[in-house]
Amino acid sequence: MTTQKVDVLLVGGGAMSATLGTLLRRLDPSLKITLVERLDHVAHESTDGWNNAGTGHAGYCELNYTPTNDDGEVEIDRALSINANFEISLQLWSYLVKEGALPEPDQFIHPTPHLSFVWGEDNVSFLRQRYEKLSAHHLFKEMEYSEDPAVLAQWMPLVMKDRNPDEKVAATRVAHGADVDFGSLARNMVRNLEQHENFTLKLNHEVDDFDHAKDGSWHVRVKDRKSGKSHTVHADFVFLGAGGGALPLLQESGIDEAAGYGGFPVSGQWLVCKDPAVVSQHHAKVYGKAAIGAPPMSVPHLDTRMINGEPALLFGPFAGFTTKFLKKGSKLDLLKSVSISNLMPMMDVGINNMELTKYLISEVRQSHKDRVATLRDYFPACQDKNWDLAQAGQRVQIIKKDAQGRGKLEFGTELVAAKDSSLAALLGASPGASVAVQAMIEVLERCFKEKMASGWADKLNEMIPSYGKSLKTDPELLAEVRSYTLSTLKLAK
């Protein structure tokens, strides 16, 4: 078996590894970096444009980021954090565009207003309270609110056409929202990395075994999926950016920090319309409220999309149950991930989430007619024949132990790192690719502490002007940064 020695091994070629590779390469161009991807292209799992919703998650429209607490108050903290984190992504992308490392912004990001839309007295009063709280904060000061059907009809004509005029409705809008083709973004990042002599891309190669050597490095077995032959990569640092495949790899690594983690896969489907006559009448991402029992990522939304230069409307996601951890994974993924350390937490989650199970079963049993009936809540005049069903990507929700040692289901993302900082894995999928830059900065801060203290932090600051400062508490900094990113990425009208 041949061996190769690298400084950094990136496992998986999605948005996360592409972002970490980009950051590392700019922080230290002498680093030898190899990216291993099991498919014949990078960014063809969750990061591909058709596999995710392409929402540049900034907390503008996603009602699940602003829950109501037991006192009836709308909580906005999560929305503020997500908004500030998205601004960090926008800064890195702006820097890369300016440097010529990414193409023109219209190749991967498109200005698309973000709207939240609700109906019924209770929901309208929730949205009004949400608007009052959010718009009082500088991060959300551009948010608009209306209960006037005529204004709403201007913002989203298809949603308001043929709607019951007696129904109480309300919407908020942020005009500078974004639709992001994360597939195009990640592919362009990797294309740029490939131009560098210290970067190697290995497609059709799969990581399947790890050995932690005495000197602290990792000996990683990489299999060529075409020839079936394996070779070993010796890496000082390994990042598991394998999307749904990160959990089994983390378990395989055997690090203590992996104990107790399990995964709950949820698949998704979209209704897709490519009819130009329909597509041209909607220009927004319109998010509603999730159905009772639905997981937070199943909030219905009607989206303008631009994927690989092709315009479309997407509605969904409709959730489904699967035992695969990757769209192109194996049906045995879930079973293989069960171990002694996570068996109890996984059983707890199965027993304590009956509402979710019932919801997933009801989603799976839906017919095309049922799905179009749900779409009619957002587009009353839609016609069945214009909409086709398409398979979205896989999400693997995190299962971990709570303070009492019982299993609980998490809907966010989590970075798990070895205590010697030699390996890190990103689990979970929400808010996802939108906050990839902040997630990868966390990798740098946790696993490259000394380098960050001796120069990397300053270099990061050149790429991300707000790095080390708080956009949440500094309105002037936010104004400066936002004006720079919106104009560089051509998101401002």
Binding site for ligand FAD (CB under 6 A): 11-17, 36-39, 44-47, 51-55, 57, 182, 206-207, 241-243, 245, 249, 268, 317, 326, 392-395, 426, 429, 431-434
Shortest approach of ligand FAD to residue 168 CB, angstroms? 28
Q: Are 373 and 297 in contact (CB under 8 A)?
A: no
Shortest approach of ligand FAD to residue 286 CB, angstroms? 13
- What single-letter amino acid sits at 385? K
Give the residue with the Cβ less far from ligand FAD, 125 or 323.
323
Q: 133 exposed, middle or buried (CB, 10 Å; 0-12, 13-18, 19+)?
A: middle
Shortest approach of ligand FAD to residue 65 CB, angstroms? 12
Give the residue with the Cβ less far from ligand FAD, 163 or 394.
394
Shortest approach of ligand FAD to residue 218 CB, angstroms? 14
State the Cα torsion 359-365-368-371 to the nearest 10°.
Answer: -10
Other CB atoms within 10 A of residue 28 CB? 17
Give the residue with the Cβ less far from ligand FAD, 217 or 269.
269
Which helix or strand (DSSP H or E) is residue 424 part of? strand 423-428
Name the residue with tokens 């890195």. Answer: 92
Give the residue with the Cβ less far from ligand FAD, 83 or 401.
83
Give the residue with the Cβ less far from ligand FAD, 249 or 306.
249
- What single-letter amino acid sits at 124? V
- What single-letter amino acid sits at 100? G
Shortest approach of ligand FAD to residue 89 CB, angstroms? 9
Shortest approach of ligand FAD to residue 364 CB, angstroms? 15
Rg from Cα positions in the chain? 22
The packing angle between helices 15-27 and 77-99, to 10°, is 60
Shortest approach of ligand FAD to residue 324 CB, angstroms? 11
Identify the CA nearest to 111 among candidates 182, 181, 175: 175
Q: Where are the alpha helices (DSSP H) in 67-200?
A: 77-99, 121-135, 149-155, 157-160, 182-194
- What single-letter amino acid sits at 338? V
Give the residue with the Cβ less far from ligand FAD, 152 or 299.
299
Give the residue with the Cβ less far from ligand FAD, 52 or 160.
52
